Structure 1
Amino acid sequence: MHRRTKFSFFSSPSLILLLLVVFFVIKMAESVPSTADSSKSVQIVYTEKPQDEEPEAYHIRTLASVLGSEDAAKEALIYSYKTAASGFSAKLTPEQVEQISKLPGVLQVVPSKTLQLHTGPGIGRLH
């Protein structure tokens, strides 16, 4: 005579496996950048030197005119250049780059680039 065992999904290893899969799917989804951020890239915005205003305040005001608020501008601003040149770097969408490049006082907008130095043993060493 066969004895029927009561099968419970909740007490089986299948439940644990299911929970682990759900956990990893959620974690993977959180690590993927949102589409709003993926279209943004770091841009360097060169501006005229402000006359009667602190450079960083001028940069935030310029950025806020495109982003809609001072808080959004402060969040997007990466660095404010004040010494050798006047300008700032910020994460912007292509549409925002187009808008900001048309503003008075904005001289040029260029993508920020990270360059890799080619140095190492025997390469470019000074004697």
Structure 2
Amino acid sequence: MDFERIPSQPPRPHGWLRGMRAGQTEELPVTWFGLVCDDGPVLNIGLCQGVVGNMPKSGEALFFRLGKVELVGKVVDCSKFFGRILVRLRLLHAVVDGRRLAAGQLHEFCCRDGWRRWLAQRKDSAQTA
């Protein structure tokens, strides 16, 4: 019996990352991400190593997009880990559904489960539509 070899699919991106340098238009797929509170909102992201030509540098500003959420942060740390590039961003500001969040709202959104509540509301509204 012959079996067809199924080509392996790249992981589905969980968001997109773009540098803030002038003229940089390419968006890189993010394979996973996590929001944590480390004396303020921090975004940890994983990128496929083959996707990134040069690793982001410490202090570089990066833009993360997932649907109608846009987060901007500065690179705190960047390292290679098991075939992925791990980037840690200190978040500076966010735009959610077209509204820019104030500092207190950014902390609430990222560090106090505002992110999960927003996702739950989006799923509920998509199911009722």
- Tell me, yes or no, whether TM beats 0.5: no
Structure having the higher helix fraction is 1
* TM-score (norm: length of structure 2): 0.27
* TM-score (norm: length of structure 1): 0.27
Structure having the higher strand fraction is 2
